Amino acid sequence: MRHKKAIPNRSFRIADQIQRDLGELIRELKDPRVGMVTINSVDVTADYAHAKVYFSLLMGEPSECEAGLNEAAGFLRNGLFKRLQIHTVPTLHFHFDRTTEHAAELSALIRQANATRAKD
């Protein structure tokens, strides 16, 4: 029974470590398309074959940055191989995370609505 519980914890630990290490490795990239990236979350498949990496961007074009990160995925994966003590380092798939973008839009709409209500 204990064994089943240990697997998700391990996968969370590995995803967390990948998230931290990728943050450092991405700063080393020389690609001008890859700007100031924040890794928001990493979802690793149960077999550790693939990892979806969700990122946000402070400045720059999200689609270009996503393309740059996905082109550098092999290089980044090799960097993870050197850092992680696991047999299988997942193939990385980068996706722009629009969550922070949507939150900013909602905040702006709420401020606008409150300002309009205050006038009335």
Provide the token pair at 44: 């690793």
Residue 7: what pLDDT? 56
Provide the token pair at 78: 């090799």
Residue 26: what pLDDT? 97
- Asked if 42 and 19 count as a contact pair (C-beta separation under 8 A), the reply is yes
Radius of gyration of the CA atoms of the chain, in A: 18
Q: Which domains are assigned to the chain?
A: 2-119 (3.30.300.20)
Q: Write down the pTM of the prediction.
A: 0.78
Residue 70: what pLDDT? 98
Nearest to 42 by CA among 51, 31, 29: 51
List residues bridging with 114 in a β-sheet.
none
pLDDT tens, N- to C-terminus, the chain (120 residues)? 444 444 568 888 999 999 999 999 999 999 999 999 999 999 999 899 999 999 999 888 999 999 999 999 999 999 999 998 888 899 999 999 988 777 778 888 899 999 888 887
Residue 96: what pLDDT? 96
Provide the token pair at 30: 């020389």
